[in-house]
């Protein structure tokens, strides 16, 4: 016959809820102080009593935490405070999630008080509820138990939670009553007649002056340390001083405060090269909105600037599978949130306005990206050693260029219980619970916006820093002119004149050598990019051919009778595959150096036909229509097959890539050749060249594709054309705009000097 039995937890659960669950004494104290915040306290006094030099512990050392919160009544103490995992705050929040002062209630799990057990074995709690004339004392004396509650006074016992008793008394107010109360360095005030005092004895953790100082800095960052950028947040900022923690050693106030917060704010406002402010991720509209260096910017998840980021595709493909056809339907589960980011240039090449000294860099590196929920910090996010967004890991293992380093970004994220109910703290207060899609979406979105900042605004900033003067000197051969001027000045001084002539000769030799090396390197890089572009279909076809050959060999070795007619069909199919590979390789062969040395008059349409063959399968797979139009006489160019192949391989590759990012049904590439004017327009109906990218797309290592691009294709195409006195530009005239996407104009008429 069955029976019903009750669960009865062992007393050692108290150790797991407190000492083992909470990471360290710092987090334990912060958890206790957050309870004071929930109790509407305006101040907390934290005292380290009877410690000696460098906070070394004596047997009489104790820690006292006192506040002026609303205190605890008899019902709260007996029916909630003494019961682990009480739902009291959770139930209170269901009715009203704010306190009388308008603070959003932080706790809800009902175990934060057991953080006390991380600090000491005896805890005395003295509390007086607001409006009551009685003081209540709860005395937890666990000194007689071992840390796992397996022995009592050295005697082994089987102890359950309900075997553990605490002393409780009610008395007339002795500690919490109106009295003279110094607070801080210069404040003198009366102590309110309500609040809570916690005394901790038989201490477990070790302390030091640096550890206490670090605790102070942690408490300073409990509420946001950042200036706020909208009216609602400025209201929060005006209330910041309504909650303050004061640290004492015995009766002496410990004034650890330095002016670092003002220094930090100055650095954020004056020294950041990229400033993202008033940032909002709007979940309903699936878009980011923010001020980029003061200019309003809107980025939809469906925009090409976001879709081109690898982190976007990796996460949402994992979430939704094939995202090509549903880019405008992507939704997230984390809720809307706010953000600000400040990006710094730590290199010596930063402009004088943004240069940082040693102290500035130290302040920046002491901060990361913080997370605040309803104005209160979520730990450990923001710690200088915490890589919660996995940015340093990504930079170290995959690509350092995809993200800014943690050292050069300071920022904060603001979430709320109302807007982000699915983002919940772990029980051990070490970050967010990773369950469902909410936390994954949240972190992915942050990584996406940070990757965008690195790939676009920061990359553009670095491009603007390039020494254009050095490029001009090289292009105009200013050094030669300077040498000629020097020779005129020293023309009667034979030794100096001879030296100037020697320098001129050596400079000419070195310049020819370096130019030749640069051109060869660019050509080889272009060949590499072009071969990589063209090799995808070749490798796919080779894979099919190898599979077909393996199947034939297996059938022949099986000993079974062979169907000669089917064998003939398989062999013909295999020959077709190899013929495709041969044709592709013949076209690619034109890229190599032996072909590059022979310039001749080439009909451009013939080269386009070769590239079309290479991309035939990709065009068909993506449903892209290709139109080739000729105006006037045939368009020709005096160059090599390799130059034109690299040009059109790059243009086709770019167009196909961007057309893949669009959900529109009719995808099109149109090539218009005008032989009369020696001009070709290559256009598509994709998203087009972003106006922010336009000034940089022909610069080396800048790519509008984000992590997918190397930033060399268009740069090399332009370099190769310019060596033939030809040019490529983005179309900016109405007559040159064929389709509503990207339009490139290639001029095959030699430039006039």
**Number of domains composing the chain:** 3
Q: Is the pLDDT of residue 36 over 50?
A: yes
Tell me the angle at which helices 713-723 and 494-557 cross, rounded to the nearest 10 degrees.
Answer: 120
Residue-level pLDDT at 715: 79
- The residues facing 377 across adjacent strands are 372
Residue 157 gets which letter from DSSP? Answer: -
Token code pair at residue 423: 């983002």
Q: Give the pLDDT mean for 634-658.
A: 84
317 in the same domain as 240: no
Q: Give the pLDDT mean for 229-242.
A: 47
Domain contains 712: yes
Q: Indicate the range of 41-50, 178-187, 466-475 predicted with least confidence.
A: 466-475
Tokens 């993200």 — which residue?
A: 403
Residue 478 confidence class, pLDDT cut points 50, 70, 90 = low
Tokens 């595959």 — which residue?
A: 577
Contact assessment for residue 562 and residue 555, using Cβ atoms and an 8 Å cutoff: yes
Residue-level pLDDT at 133: 94
Domain contains 608: yes
Q: Is the pLDDT of residue 524 over 60?
A: no
Q: Is the pLDDT of residue 335 over 90?
A: yes
Omega into 643 within 30° of 0, i.e. cis? no
Domain contains 550: no
91 in the same domain as 39: yes
Q: Is the pLDDT of residue 482 over 70?
A: no
318 in the same domain as 211: no
Q: Nearest CA to 525 among 714, 291, 263, 297?
A: 714
Q: Nearest CA to 124 among 142, 112, 110, 109?
A: 142
Residue-level pLDDT at 399: 58
Residue 290 confidence class, pLDDT cut points 50, 70, 90 = very high
Q: Is the pLDDT of residue 622 over 50?
A: yes
Residue 198 confidence class, pLDDT cut points 50, 70, 90 = very high
Between CA 603 and CA 600 the distance in angstroms is 10
Q: At 617, phi and psi to the nearest 5? A: -65, -40
153 in the same domain as 288: no
Rg, Å, the chain Cα set? 36
Domain contains 722: yes
For the chain, what is the mean pLDDT? 79
CATH of the domain at 639: 3.30.565.10
Between CA 266 and CA 272 the distance in angstroms is 10
CB atoms near residue 437 (< 10 Å): 16
Token code pair at residue 265: 């704010």
Domain contains 493: no
> Residue 566: how many CA atoms within 13 Å on its side-chain side?
8
234 in the same domain as 296: no
Instruction: Choose the final residue of a domain: 440, 465, 490.
Output: 465
Residue-level pLDDT at 327: 54
641 vs 446, more confident: 446
Residue-level pLDDT at 239: 46
388 vs 199, more confident: 199
Q: Strands, E, within 587-635: which ranges?
A: 600-603, 624-631
Q: Is the pLDDT of residue 706 over 70?
A: no
Residue-level pLDDT at 126: 94
315 in the same domain as 197: no
139 vs 568, more confident: 139
Residue-level pLDDT at 595: 44
Instruction: Choose the final residue of a domain: 208, 224, 249.
Output: 249
Question: Over the stretch 148-187, which tens digit does the pLDDT of each residue have?
Answer: 777 788 788 888 877 778 889 999 999 998 887 777 767 7
Q: What percent of the chain has pLDDT over 70?
A: 76
412 in the same domain as 266: yes
Q: At 24, phi and psi to the nearest 5? A: -155, 175
**pTM beyond 0.85, yes or no:** no
Q: Nearest CA to 675 among 599, 603, 751?
A: 603
CATH of the domain at 170: 3.30.565
Contact assessment for residue 49 and residue 64, using Cβ atoms and an 8 Å cutoff: yes
Question: Over the stretch 574-618, which tens digit does the pLDDT of each residue have?
Answer: 776 676 666 666 656 655 554 445 678 889 898 888 888 877 878
Q: Give the pLDDT mean for 131-144.
A: 90
Q: Tell me the pairing of strands 274-282 and 337-343.
A: antiparallel
366 in the same domain as 244: no
Q: Which are the contacts of 519, defined by CB distance < 8 A and separation ≥ 6?
A: 719, 723
CA dihedral 54, 57, 58, 63 (to 10 degrees): 110
Q: At 673, phi and psi to the nearest 5? A: -110, 125
Q: Which are the contacts of 179, defined by CB distance < 8 A and separation ≥ 6?
A: 190, 191
Question: Over the stretch 381-418, which tens digit does the pLDDT of each residue have?
Answer: 888 888 888 887 776 555 555 678 888 999 999 999 88
Question: Over the stretch 249-274, which tens digit does the pLDDT of each residue have?
Answer: 998 888 777 666 778 888 998 899 99
Between CA 545 and CA 579 the distance in angstroms is 11
Residue-level pLDDT at 541: 63
Domain contains 541: no
Q: Is 170 in a helix, a strand, or coil?
A: strand
450 in the same domain as 320: yes
Q: Is the pLDDT of residue 732 over 90?
A: no
Instruction: Choose the final residue of a domain: 196, 227, 249.
Output: 249
Q: Which are the contacts of 566, defined by CB distance < 8 A and separation ≥ 6?
A: none
H-helix or E-strand spanning residue 1: none
Q: Indicate the range of 380-389, 539-548, 549-558 predicted with least confidence.
A: 539-548
CA-to-CA dists, residue 142 to 11, 197, 201, 202, angstroms: 11, 19, 10, 9
CB atoms near residue 465 (< 10 Å): 14
Q: At 61, phi and psi to the nearest 5? A: -65, 145
Domain contains 504: no
Q: Give the pLDDT mean for 210-229.
A: 80
Q: Give the pLDDT mean for 62-71.
A: 93
Q: Is the pLDDT of residue 300 over 80?
A: yes
Q: What is the 3-state secondary structure (H, E, C) of 685-748?
A: CCCCCCCCCCCCCCCCCCCCCHHHCCCCHHHHHHHHHHHCCCEEEECCCHHHCCCCCCEEEEEC
CA-to-CA dists, residue 270 to 226, 384, 461, angstroms: 14, 22, 16
90 in the same domain as 192: yes
377 in the same domain as 235: no
Tell me the angle at which helices 438-453 and 310-320 cross, rounded to the nearest 10 degrees.
Answer: 160
Q: Give the pLDDT mean for 32-55.
A: 91
Q: Is the pLDDT of residue 312 over 80?
A: yes
Residue-level pLDDT at 229: 46
Between CA 553 and CA 424 the distance in angstroms is 59
Quickly list DSSP for 293-323: TTEEEEEETTSHHHHT-HHHHHHHHHHHS--
Residue-level pLDDT at 415: 93
CA-to-CA dists, residue 410 to 60, 225, 265, 274, 371, angstroms: 42, 11, 11, 11, 11
Domain contains 583: no
229 in the same domain as 273: no
- Domain containing 417 equals 260-465
107 vs 157, more confident: 157
Q: Give the pLDDT mean for 672-699.
A: 86
């Amino acid at each position: 016959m069955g029976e019903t039995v009750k669960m009865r937890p062992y007393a050692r659960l108290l150790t797991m809820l407190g000492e083992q669950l909470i990471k360290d004494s710092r987090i334990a104290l912060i958890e206790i102080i957050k309870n004071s915040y929930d109790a509407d306290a305006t101040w907390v006094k934290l005292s380290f009593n009877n410690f000696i030099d460098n906070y070394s512990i004596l047997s009489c050392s104790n820690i006292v935490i006192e506040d002026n919160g609303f205190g605890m009544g008899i019902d709260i103490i007996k029916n909630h405070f003494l019961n682990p995992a009480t739902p009291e705050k959770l139930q209170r929040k269901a009715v009203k999630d704010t306190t009388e002062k308008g603070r959003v209630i932080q706790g809800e799990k009902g175990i934060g008080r057991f953080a006390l057990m991380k600090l000491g074995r005896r805890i005395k709690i003295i509390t007086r509820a607001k409006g009551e004339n009685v003081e209540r004392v709860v005395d937890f004396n666990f000194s007689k138990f071992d840390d796992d509650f397996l022995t009592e006074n050295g005697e082994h016992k089987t102890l359950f939670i309900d075997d553990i008793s605490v002393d409780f008394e009610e008395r007339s107010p002795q500690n919490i009553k109106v009295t003279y109360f110094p607070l801080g360095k210069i404040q003198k005030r009366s102590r309110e007649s309500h609040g809570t005092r916690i005394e901790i004895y038989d201490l477990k953790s070790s302390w030091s002056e640096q550890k206490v100082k670090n605790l102070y800095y942690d408490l300073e960052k409990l509420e946001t340390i950042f200036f706020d950028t909208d009216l609602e947040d400025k209201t929060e900022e005006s209330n910041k001083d309504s909650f303050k923690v004061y640290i004492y050693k015995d009766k002496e106030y410990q004034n650890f405060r330095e002016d670092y917060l003002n220094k930090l704010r100055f650095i954020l406002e004056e020294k950041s090269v990229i400033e993202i402010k008033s940032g909002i991720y709007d979940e309903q509209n699936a878009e980011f909105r923010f001020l980029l260096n003061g200019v309003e910017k809107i980025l939809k998840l469906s925009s090409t600037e976001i879709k081109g980021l690898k982190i976007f595709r990796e996460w949402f493909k994992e979430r939704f599978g094939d995202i090509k056809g549903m880019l405008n339907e992507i939704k997230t589960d984390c809720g809307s949130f706010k953000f600000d980011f400040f990006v710094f240039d730590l290199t010596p090449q930063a402009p004088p306005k943004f240069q940082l000294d040693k102290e500035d860099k130290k302040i920046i590196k002491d901060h990361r990206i913080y997370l605040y929920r309803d104005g209160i910090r979520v730990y450990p996010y923001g710690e200088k050693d915490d890589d919660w967004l996995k940015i340093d890991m990504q930079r170290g293992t995959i690509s350092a260029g995809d993200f800014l380093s943690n050292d050069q970004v300071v920022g904060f994220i603001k979430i709320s219980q109302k807007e982000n109910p699915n983002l919940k703290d772990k029980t051990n207060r070490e970050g967010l619970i990773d369950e469902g899609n909410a936390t994954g979406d949240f972190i992915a979105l942050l990584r996406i916006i940070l990757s965008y900042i690195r790939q676009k605004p920061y990359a553009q900033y670095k491009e603007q820093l390039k020494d254009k003067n050095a490029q001009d000197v090289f292009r105009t051969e200013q050094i030669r002119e300077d040498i000629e001027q020097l020779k005129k000045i020293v023309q009667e001084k034979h030794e100096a004149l001879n030296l100037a002539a020697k320098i001129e000769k050596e400079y000419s030799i070195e310049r020819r050598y370096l130019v030749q090396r640069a051109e060869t390197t660019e050509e080889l890089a272009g060949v590499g990019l072009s071969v990589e572009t063209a090799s995808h279909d070749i490798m796919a076809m080779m894979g099919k051919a190898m599979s077909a050959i393996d199947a034939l060999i297996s059938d022949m070795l099986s000993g079974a009778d062979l169907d000669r007619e089917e064998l003939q069909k398989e062999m013909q199919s295999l020959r077709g595959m190899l013929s495709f590979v041969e044709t592709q390789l013949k076209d690619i062969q034109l890229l190599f150096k032996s072909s590059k040395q022979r310039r001749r008059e080439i009909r451009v349409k013939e080269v386009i036909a070769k590239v079309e063959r290479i991309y035939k399968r990709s065009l068909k797979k993506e449903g892209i229509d290709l139109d080739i139009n000729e105006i006037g006489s045939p368009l020709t160019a005096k160059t090599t097959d390799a130059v034109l192949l690299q040009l059109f391989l790059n243009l086709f590759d770019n167009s196909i890539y961007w057309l893949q990012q669009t959900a529109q049904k009719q995808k099109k590439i149109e090539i218009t050749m005008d032989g009369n004017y020696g001009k070709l327009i290559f256009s598509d109906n994709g998203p087009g060249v972003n106006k922010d990218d336009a000034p940089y797309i022909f610069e080396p290592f800048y790519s509008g594709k984000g992590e997918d691009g190397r930033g060399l294709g268009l740069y090399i195409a332009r370099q190769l054309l310019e060596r033939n006195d030809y040019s490529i530009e983005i179309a900016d005239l109405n007559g040159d705009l064929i389709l509503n996407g990207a339009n490139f104009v290639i001029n095959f008429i030699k430039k006039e000097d």
